[in-house]
Chain A
Amino acid sequence: MSLNYQSVEDAELVTLAAEGRESAYRELLSRYERPVFSLIYRMVRNRTLAEDLAQEAFIRTFNAIDTYNPQYKFSSWIFKIANNLTIDHLRKRRVPTVSMHGAPDAVTAEAQARTSLVVRSPGESPEEYVQNRELAGQIEAAIGELRDEYRVVVLLRHIEGHTYDEIARIMDIPLGTVKTYLHRARAELKLRLAEA
């Protein structure tokens, strides 16, 4: 009988994957490709690089699937791997910030179009698209100017919806530090948005 993987819990999927079922790996990939990519993309602000790092995060996760501790959520584990990978990369090579309106070295309209981030929610009208793009542009730019650690906590909390405890586990920092980072990050965001 064929197993419907979409209705299977993460922990069970990991067990099936550890048994060598490729469909379980595919389901995990399908569930987390978007959130993991999103987090990394907002961190490095380069689509190709983000895909490379996300791919590496998945490969590391899959290769270490036997070592997964079911006491914790799988999402925390994969985000921890993705976060460590991204932070390591950013520390090794400082990534230049790319504006929502294109890379700093993009002088022609074509280069600006190629390097700009286009954010669009499905099902919105053209007017809403323009408004949302503008709004998202300001907030995305403000997020992009945050310190790496602040940016991660904000993204994990408000985009991915992790609890403070999960964020502490993902980032390997004390709970109090998570609260401090979040407080400072939001304060900076508010200030930048007020200035914009």
Chain B
Amino acid sequence: MNSDRSSYGRHLDDDAIQGLLDAAEGRADAETRSARRHLADCPACQGRVDAWREVFGELGRLRRFSPPGRFAERVLSEIDLPGEASSSSRAWSWVRLRRWLTGRAADAHLSGRRLQALADGALPRKRAILAKAHVATCGDCETRLAGWRRLIATLEALPSFAPAAGFAERVMARWREVAEEATGRGQAAQRWRLLPRSPRGWVLAGTLTSMPVAAFAAVAAFLSTVPQLTTGGLVTYLWWQARDALSAFGSSLLAAVMQSGAAFRAYSLAEYLIASPTTAVAAAAGFTTLMLSSIWVLHRNIGFPRFALRHVYN
């Protein structure tokens, strides 16, 4: 250490000289300014500063060494980039394992599939970064990538074709026809839905319908063999029977109504409504609303064709 004093004051030590040289280009503080003042008058320190300057110069002229090829690629493959899914990390572990197993070098050329995906913007972020890092240092892959990019650009520049004029009108017209046909088919299907749909069904339906016809025919055949019976007599007999049955049904219905008190309640209700016109009007309105609602529900669910177009403009 140079700690001796001279007529120019205390000599500069090595730290002070190095600090002085480091600060040569920068902003000088009070200590540096003091050191410079001393240096201007001290030949001994000037000589030491020159020696140090030479060392600094040698250090500054040292060569920069480039990292080995695919250095960035290898570094990136070892780090987890933010935003990557865990599945992607697993995938990369698998990629590294496969490389280790197959002995494939990390800086091998990119496959055509990967280059296509890169050109198409379909590679996941991490793989895209790695692929781009490789392409940046590999002329062969760069050329191949440019080829894929040209192909994709050519495809994407292809024009679209328009159908002939009036296509939309034709589609709409045809759609209406199809809707009407479907509606017609639906109504026809509704109409004939009770008919059998197979030969077996037709046989069964035929048997069922022919049974009462056969029974009637058998009775008629038997009656025709009795000589006392005439057609007029038979008709008169059946008419009497029908009239008696109807009369008995009417009598029993009337008796049931009278016994249940429904007629009395209906009469009381009518009397009450006639006595209060407001109630009568409200009842009439309610009844009308109920009827209209019922008709609307029936119209929507039964009468409205399923495929019919409803022309609602705007």
Q: Which residues from chain A sit less than 8 Å from chain B, CB to CB?
A: 2-3, 19-23, 25-26, 29-30, 33-35, 37-38, 41-42, 47, 50-51, 54-55, 58-59, 62-63, 119-121, 135-136, 139-140, 154, 157-159, 161, 164, 179, 182-183, 186-187, 189-190, 193
Contacts and interface: CB of A to CB of B under 8 A. Distances in A.
Nearest to B168: A29
B154 A186 contact: no
Nearest to B308: A20
Contacts of B164: 47, 51
Contacts of B112: 183, 187
Interface string B300-311: 000000010111
B158 interface: yes
Given A3-B314, A22-B311, A159-B155, A59 B175 contact: yes
Nearest to A50: B163
Contacts of A22: 172, 309, 311-313
Contacts, number: 116
Contacts of A33: 162-163, 167-168, 171
B171 A58 contact: yes
A147 B61 CA distance: 63
B148 A190 contact: yes
B147 interface: yes
Contacts of B309: 20, 22
Nearest to A163: B122
B83 to A, nearest CB: 19
Given A23-B314, A26-B172, A190-B147, A37 B155 contact: no
Contacts of B122: 164, 179
B159 A55 contact: no
Contacts of B170: 51, 55
Interface of B: 112-113, 116-117, 120, 122, 147-148, 151-152, 154-156, 158-164, 167-168, 170-172, 174-175, 178-179, 182, 307, 309-314
A55 B174 contact: yes
Contacts of A51: 163-164, 167, 170
A34 B151 contact: no
Contacts of A38: 160-162
Contacts of A21: 312-314
Contacts of A182: 116, 120
Contact of B151 (A25, A120, A186): A186
Given A22-B311, A25-B172, A63-B307, A186 B148 contact: yes
Contact of A59 (B167, B178, B314): B178
Given A20-B312, A29-B171, A179-B122, 16 more contacts: A20-B309, A25-B175, A33-B171, A34-B161, A35-B160, A38-B161, A55-B171, A59-B175, A119-B158, A120-B159, A121-B159, A140-B158, A158-B156, A164-B122, A186-B148, A190-B148
Contacts of A2: 314
Nearest to B113: A183
Q: Which 10 A-B pairs have the closest CB atoms?
A: A20-B310, A158-B155, A38-B160, A37-B163, A38-B161, A2-B314, A183-B113, A58-B171, A29-B168, A41-B161
B147 to A, nearest CB: 7
A64 to B, nearest CB: 11
Contacts of A136: 158-159
B151 A37 contact: no
Contacts of B311: 20, 22
A193 B167 contact: no
Given A19-B312, A37-B163, A187-B112, A63 B171 contact: no
Given A37-B162, A135-B154, A30 B116 contact: no
Contact of A37 (B113, B161, B175, B313): B161
Contacts of A41: 161
B54 to A, nearest CB: 61
13 contacts: A19-B312, A21-B312, A21-B314, A22-B312, A26-B168, A26-B172, A29-B172, A63-B182, A158-B152, A158-B155, A182-B116, A186-B148, A186-B152
A19 B309 CA distance: 10
Nearest to B151: A190
Contacts of A54: 163, 167, 171
A183 B310 CA distance: 47
